[in-house]
Structure 1
Amino acid sequence: MRRLVLFSFIILLISCKNENSKKEQAPALNFAELLKNYSEEGLELDPMKATNAGDSRFNTEYPNVLSDEYKAKKKAYYTKYKTALAEIDASLLTETEKMSKAVLEWDCDINLEAMTFKKDLMPIDQMWSKNLDFNQYAGGSNAQPFKTVQDYKDWLTRVDAYLVWLNTAIDKMKEGMETGYVLPKSLIVKVVPQFKSLSEGNVEDHLYFSPIKNMPESFTEAEQKELTDAYTNMVQNKIMPAHKQMAEFLKVDYMAKGRASSGINETPLGDAYYKHQIKKYTTTNMTADEIHELGLREVARIRSEMEAVKAEVGFKGDLKAFFDHVRTNKDLMPFTERSQVIAFYDSIHQVMKPQIDKLFGNKPKTPFEVRRTEPFREKSAAANYNPGSLDGTRPGIFYTPIPVVEEYNLFDKEDLFLHEAIPGHHFQISLAQESTELPDFRKTLWYSAYGEGWALYTESMGKELGLYKDPYQYFGMLSSEIHRAIRLVVDTGLHAKGWTREQAIAYSLENEAEAEDSIISEIERYMANPGQALSYKIGQLKLIELRAKGEEALGDKFDIREFHNQVLETGCIPLQLLEEKINTWIKKTGN
């Protein structure tokens, strides 16, 4: 009898222990479900993100993000998950889950903060607005699929939704015109041609007609005719008139109200908005003054290195004269065909390949391509990287604008490839997307200080990767670095210190080798999106600092491949969280 009672008691203890264990595990399980729901609901809010990731469920949708209904839905989304996170006990989570919780808290906070400003009254600009993003899909060579008849019909539906947004944009800008939320005139001038180019010409030559020229041979004649008629109607009676209306509105009504000032603090958004933008793009609490002073110090440091290169090549003039020499040196502009530019980038990749294994333990499986930037945005676009799909079926693509091939200067193109392609954005983004550890929302999350900071950090690795053997190419790397240091000075100058567009252009011309047209485009870029330009240098300096800290603390135990793994395995995260992670790794490795 005693044995039976004792046995029953033991069974009861085990049962209670299992129950307690389940209770302890429940928060973690609930958290995993929370992350999944956050990702799924996020795709409904941002269906283009789903399309970019290769998820076709929302390929007909394009929400009107300017509508009150959408904004209310977005605010409720972030508020709900911010509240839910407060109920999660972090002590019961794994290390990866703890990081996800911290990242999600940051994401909710920064997005809710952004919604307190009326930036939606300035929805159009020459570089960052949604019409430019949308146009990239229209040619049929981007993430929007054009493989089946249904794919073609999906795009027609999505175009109709986009036109609703475009009409609302005009309404918002009219409201902004009455309340002081308007673009500088110098930016409006650049926007008008972007819309005008899509409002005229032959239907068959129009960007939005392009998918018809590449219809799969498997389509029947009836299907081809149906789609050709539908796309002709879409271009002729929807896209062209809508873009004509916008071009005329911008050129006449909006231009008349355009402001002469350059900085965002001259609008009702004021200093508070720029402070928010600094936090958003640097993921730090740095002030505009701190960043401005840091920029001045970095510019001075890099200029001294440039002087050394100038002496090495035997140039006798001052540094500004050397900038002009580099800008105009025809020996650095050897191309006569655009295909030669693409081949040049391919050759850089081949040189690097044997060195990659020495620096990286993990390399992405996602394929990679170099392409010319589409002509419709080529004149005002910078080189950029478009991520591949989550399943790896669509490659990562490095786009480079080549508007005039004979003027394509290659002195700074080795470091450009490192930044935009390999091991910059392609490695960082693809490895995050391919991760089996990260929750879905972190695979496509983007924090500029981390992502752009990593890409700029990789530029400094050129010699380790077998590049920069030509002093002009090394000067190109220094030029790119000083370009990002200059951004710290001019961005804060424009938006916090009352600088004019002309002052910012003059400072850049004094301190870098970029062509004047390119510098003007850059300064206007900063005017359109305050704070974004700060992220590169702030992120790069943090990564350099963390690498140096690891090398000093670990000595012979420091493994550069493992350091890069530690950085890249997290996906994009705020810099403070990355620093905490690397400090923990250094401590564990050193013990």
Structure 2
Amino acid sequence: MFKKTHYFLLAVILLAAACTQQGKQAGKNDADSLHSLVQRYYDDKMKLFPLEATVNGEHELDGELQIDISENFRARLDSHLTRYQAALQGIDTSSLDANDLISYSMLSRELAIAKEGLRFPDHLMPIQQFWGLTLTLPQYGSGTGAQPFKNKADYEKFMKRMKSFAEWSDTAIANMKRGIATGYVLPKALVLKVIPQLADLSQKDTGNIFYAPLKTLPQELDSAAKKALSTEYAATIEQYVLSSYSKLHDFFKNEYLAKARTTSGYSSLPNGKEWYSYLIRYWTTTNLTPDEIFATGEKEVARIRMEMETVKANVGFKGDLPAFFEFIRTDKQFRIFSTPVQVLDSFRAIEQKIMPAVRQLYGHLPKTKFEVRQTEAFRAASASAEYMQGSADGTRPGIFYVPILDARTFNYTGMECLFLHEAIPGHHFQISIQQENDSLPKFRRFTWVGSYGEGYALYCESLGKDLGLYTNPYSYFGHLSDEIHRAIRLVVDVGMHYKGWTREQAIKYMMDNEPLSEAEAVAEIERYMAIPGQALSYKIGELKIRELRARYSQQKGSSFSIKDFHDELLKDGCVPLSVLEEKMARRFK
């Protein structure tokens, strides 16, 4: 027999159960809403940036080319970001699981940092010597890059893109004229590097990379169809691409060069210090100040120099460290190649040597195939060694590009650490594992966070001894040279863009602290002049990863698993450093 108190208690129990169920449903609804939101965001972002879609293997937009330097585009982008910021505010994060919390945090940051970036007029300096559409379009059009050339429709899509490039280049010239009027112009040193690039790409010559797809026309076409396609394709190159590059070349040479600035850093631009502080936050995903980064760089340079002194003493070199740098730079014993093929084969041999040990450090290996290739001639003079991601579906391998201007001058001492960084287990592992993880929303599978991605790749250089490398003291010195190179960047990047250093000051500091030629130092310093803040991401990210590994190795002691650490480090893809710290703490607490 029930009393009234029983009815009351039953009512309380039923109400609590109902609330719990509602809470679970609300949590599920928030998660579903987030999943839907991030997918819509990715789809809309691909429509805004169709070149990025092509790289990601989304080929529905292969004929589109965004005029992303136009005022109309910037307004559309601002509206896109604002709309998604508002939608994200409607999601309750308290009920999200760990993976969804990462997605929420990453999307929130991406929207905020992109919207803030629209305050600064980067579209008024749309071309430089290191990267940008004038250099990436030829890669798309090479026939060996992300742009497919499998059938007639593929050729027609790239012809459409080439036609749009004419609009982009006209917009670029108009923007640069506005930049001249408002004080936003490139340094003269960079303009002098751009001019020959534009000249080469404007040549009506079958050696021009844009003509390369005509050598591999689709086999299913008969001879008449091939001839018709070839004629139309060549005419499109000449009418829209070569003429655009020629117009850009003439503008740079005859008008822009005379207006270029003599200063090196962003601090000389209107609102330049604020702009640079924003770029630090964008690239490092931290709130570090320029002065803090500069001080960290000086400390790291001093530490690594001490290690270099030890190597110098161990090999019995008589002389100071600058003399040892000169010895490493110039002695013939370090130049062992005569052909580009020998250089490439030597990199391939490193892969074969390290793979057994790699499997001891990593539990999860990527499926995406991997190749080593020589950098194309049209961009080799201004290029660094780099990794070009493969496709998520496995149809295009990841590619490690090596610029070889003269194999006889190629120094072997830095090859091992370079391979660890750009290839395996560096960028190839990190990007491929990220792309292959279909439990991640697409906006995370195909995103890039420099402080994480470059920080991880630099961290991989420190694994050389564990992988059976650096047994030659000069190769280990090559590793130290690459490490100090990234530490130097913290000093010279802030020096030029915040402290008023000249290009020449930065070149001297670099040459005083690492073994590279003046031409190499010039190329590096001019890279930092072109893309401020990007070079900071390597060392800042690496220091965070090493800090986390040391912390959990110490906490876990003998139960610490390096395989587990690396697998956790990579499984969620690129994340801001604050998110990385949070997720590693959840895993290893």
TM-score class, shorter-chain normalisation, is: over 0.9
User: Which residue of the other structure, out of 163, 184, 197, is the alignment partner of 2:200?
Assistant: 197
1:168 counterpart (158, 171, 183): 171
Whole-Å separation in 1 of the counterparts to 2:403 and 2:341: 12
- TM-score relative to the length of structure 1: 0.96
* 1:421-471 residue CA offsets vs partner (Å, 9 max, x unmatched): 000000000000011321110011111100000000000000001101100
* Match in the other structure for 1:143: 146
Matched to 2:30, the amino acid is P
Residue 302 of structure 1: aligned partner: 304
The answer to whether the 8 A contact 1:149-1:223 is kept is: no
* Alignment-derived partner of residue 556 in structure 1: 558
The answer to whether the 8 A contact 1:45-1:74 is kept is yes
Aligned with 2:301: secondary structure? helix
Query: 2:62 is matched with which residue?
Result: 59
- 1:528-575 residue CA offsets vs partner (Å, 9 max, x unmatched): 111111000000011000000011111011100101111101211110
The answer on whether the counterparts of 1:449 and 1:538 sit within 8 Å (CA) in structure 2 is yes
Secondary structure of 1:581's aligned partner: helix
Which residue number in structure 2 is paired with residue 32 of structure 1?
35
Alpha-carbon offset, residue 16 of structure 1? 8.7
| Post-superposition offset of 1:345 | 0.5
Is the CA contact 1:509–1:516 (under 8 Å) kept in the aligned structure 2?
Answer: yes
Q: Distance in 1 between matches of 2:207 and 2:376?
A: 14
Instruction: Please report how far the alpha carbon of residue 205 of structure 1 lies from its aligned counterpart in structure 2 after TM superposition.
Output: 2.4
Amino acid at match of 2:452: Y
| Distance in 2 of aligned mates of 1:13 and 1:194 | 70
More displaced 10-residue stretch of structure 1: 55-64 or 159-168 = 159-168
In the TM superposition, what is the alpha-carbon distance from 1:236 to its structure 2 partner?
2.4
* Equivalent in the alignment of 2:115: 112
Is 1:222 matched with 2:211? no
In structure 1, stretches of 5+ residues that fail to align are: none
Letter in 2 for 1:149: K
Aligned to 1:360: 362
C-alpha distance in structure 1 between counterparts of 2:447 and 2:281, whole Å: 16
Are the counterparts in 2 of residues 398 and 420 from structure 1 also a CA contact under 8 Å? Answer: yes
Amino acid at match of 1:362: H
- Conservation of the 8 A alpha-carbon contact between 1:382 and 1:400: yes
Give per-residue Cα distances to partners, 1:194-219, cap 9 Å, x unaligned.
Answer: 100012242x2221111001113222
Normalising by structure 2, we get a TM-score of: 0.96
Secondary structure, aligned partner of 1:507: helix
- Partner residue, 1:399: 401
Work out the CA distance in 1 between the residues paired with 2:436 and 2:139.
24
Matched, 1:122 2:120: no
> Aligned residue for 1:445?
447
Tell me by how many angstroms 1:11 deviates.
11
Give the Cα separation in 2 of the matches to 1:235 and 1:22. Answer: 57
Q: CA deviation at 1:78?
A: 1.1
- In the alignment, the residues of structure 1 paired with residue 114 and residue 309 of structure 2 have an alpha-carbon distance, to the nearest angstrom, of 43
Cα separation, 1, equivalents of 2:222 and 2:408? 44
- Asked if 1:188 is matched to 2:191, the reply is yes
Structure-1 separation of matches of 2:494 and 2:25: 53
> 1:23 Cα deviation (Å)?
3.7
The answer to whether the 8 Å contact 2:57/2:393 transfers is: yes
How many Å apart are 1:235 and its aligned residue?
2.5
Query: 2:485 aligned with 1:469, yes or no?
Result: no
Q: Residue 331 of structure 2 corresponds to which residue in structure 1?
A: 329
Matches within 5 A, 1:356-395: 356-395=358-397
Deviation, 1:82, is: 1.2
Tell me how far 1:106 sits from its aligned partner. Answer: 0.6
Report % sequence identity: 46
1:36-115 pair list within 5 angstroms: 36-115=39-118
Tell whether the 8 Å contact from 2:152 to 2:218 is kept in structure 1 after alignment.
Answer: no
Alignment partner, residue 207 of structure 1: 209
TM-fit CA distance, 1:14: 8.6
User: In structure 1, the residue corresponding to 2:372 is in which secondary structure?
Assistant: strand
Deviation readout 1:245-295 (Å, 9 max, x if unpaired): 111110110011001000111011411000000001111000111111111
Whether the 8 Å contact between 2:130 and 2:383 is mirrored in structure 1 is yes
Q: Could you tell me how far 1:176 is from its partner in structure 2?
A: 0.3
Verify the 8 A CA contact 2:204 2:238 in the aligned structure 1: no
Give 2:429's match in structure 1, choosing from 427, 435, 442. 427
1:480 and 2:482 matched: yes
Match for residue 513 of structure 1 among 512, 515, 531: 515
Q: Distance in 2 between matches of 1:201 and 1:94?
A: 57
Pair 1:577 & 2:579 matched: yes
1:152-208: CA deviations, max 9, x gaps? Answer: 111000111122111100000000001110001010000000100012242x22211
Q: Which residue in 1 is equivalent to 2:269?
A: 267
For 1:171, the aligned partner's letter is A
Tell me, what secondary structure is at the counterpart of 2:399?
strand
CA spacing shift, 1:448–1:239, aligned 2, 3 Å: same
Are the aligned partners of 2:143 and 2:213 in contact in 1 as well (CA < 8 Å)? Answer: yes
Residue type matched to 1:62 in 2?
L
CA distance in 2, matches of 1:304, 1:205: 48
Question: Following the alignment from structure 1 to structure 2, what is the Cα–Cα distance between the partners of residues 12 and 126?
Answer: 67
Aligned-partner Cα distance in 1 for 2:18–2:94: 24
Contact 1:342-1:370 within 8 A present in 2 as well: yes
Spell out, residue by residue over 1:392-427, the C-alpha distance to the aligned partner (whole angstroms, 9 max, x if none). 111000000001111111110100000000000000
d(CA) in 1 for partners of 2:16, 2:514: 73
Distance change in 2, residues 1:89/1:234 (3 Å): same
Report Cα offsets for 1:563-591 as digits up to 9, x if no partner: 1111101211110110111122221xxxx
Q: Distance in 2 between matches of 1:535 and 1:20?
A: 41
Is contact 1:118-1:269 (8 Å) kept?
A: no
Q: In structure 1, what is the Cα distance between the partners aligned to 2:418 and 2:246?
A: 36
- Distance change (3 Å), C-alpha of 1:24 and 1:504: closer
- Residue identity matched to 2:379: R
Instruction: Give the match for residue 159 of structure 1.
Output: 162
Q: Once the two structures are superposed, what CA deviation does each residue of 1:142-161 show, in whole Å capped at 9, x if it has no partner?
A: 00000001001110001111
The offset of 1:13, in angstroms, is: 10
Q: Is the 8 A contact 2:459 2:546 kept in 1?
A: yes
2: distance between equivalents of 1:21 and 1:271?
Answer: 48
2:457 alignment counterpart: 455
Secondary structure in 2 aligned to 1:412?
helix
Question: Using a 3 Å threshold, how does the CA distance of structure 1 residues 531 and 17 change in structure 2: closer, same or farther?
Answer: closer
C-alpha distance in structure 2 between counterparts of 1:299 and 1:446, whole Å: 27
Q: Distance in 2 between matches of 1:408 and 1:216?
A: 38
2:201 alignment partner, SS class = coil
Q: For 2:336, give the aligned amino acid.
A: P
Between 243-252 and 16-25, the greater mean CA deviation after superposition? 16-25
Alpha-carbon distance in structure 1 between the residues aligned to 2:26 and 2:533: 45
Among 117, 133, 136, the residue aligned to 1:133:
136
Say which SS state the counterpart of residue 369 (structure 1) adopts: strand
Q: 1:239 to 1:37 in 2, by over 3 A?
A: same
Aligned residues: 580
